[in-house]
Amino acid sequence: MHGQTWPSVATTQASVLASDWRIFTIAGLAVAVLVWGLILFAMARWGRARRTDALPPQFRRNNALEITWTAIPLVIVCALFVYTYHAEADVEALATHPDVRVHVNAYRWGWTFAYTGGPTIDGTAADPPQMLLPLGRTTRIELTTSDVTHAFWVPDFLFKRDAIPGIVNRFDLAPDKVGTFLGRCTQFCGLQHAHMTFTVRVVPPDAFDRWVHGGAS
């Protein structure tokens, strides 16, 4: 299991979201540098005026400047919105024919992973279960809950989805990194909520096929 605090980006969907986050970070830093630069420039250019009791150049209106500092942020926000919209559409897209289907049921305070045509893994807060997924294949998750609202969250997948009573939430995961990743419930659901964890183990496809058909993994 990974011990780092920064997610490792372990699915193709997570890579899309990570790119979106990087673009937001770059855009935010660019705006910050511009604002800080203008502040420092004003301090350096007109700071001496305070020592001579003279005012810097004064003006009441500059239409071109006002339009510019209104239009540029608007363009940035619109561009970030459009990019994020397409990124989230890619993450939310469901494959026509997923390679694996797993029904994930949350309950206080554990998880059940039922594979279509394969085994069912059950676990509790005292004995957390492990979900096995094949590397490079698309897995369809069908998420439900037996009681209250829970949430399926795997930090390294950059993905969280609520399990809501009476609703089946479907989403796809396509792991692109071998390893074991921690998952947990992120909706407060009772006294044992903090211990409602699970792990996701990503293995090569041949190892997954042996396991799902009753062999060793």
Torsion of CA 105, 86, 178, 207, to 10 degrees: 60
- Residue 143 identity (one-letter amino acid): L
Instruction: Give the per-residue pLDDT at 3.
Output: 47
What pLDDT is recorded for position 115? 96
**How confident is the model at residue 59, as a pLDDT?**
75
| Torsional class of 179: left (φ above 0), alpha (ψ -120 to 50), beta (otherwise) | left
Residue pair 112/121 in contact by the 8 Å Cβ criterion: yes
- pLDDT (0 to 100) of residue 193: 92
Q: What's the token pair of residue 197?
A: 């964890």
Ordered mean pLDDT values, 10 residues apiece, the chain (217 residues): 62 92 93 93 73 70 88 94 95 94 96 94 93 96 96 94 96 95 93 93 95 72
Residue 21, preceding bond cis, omega within 30 degrees? no
**Alpha-carbon span 162 to 106, nearest angstrom:** 10
- Predicted confidence at residue 2, as pLDDT, reads 46
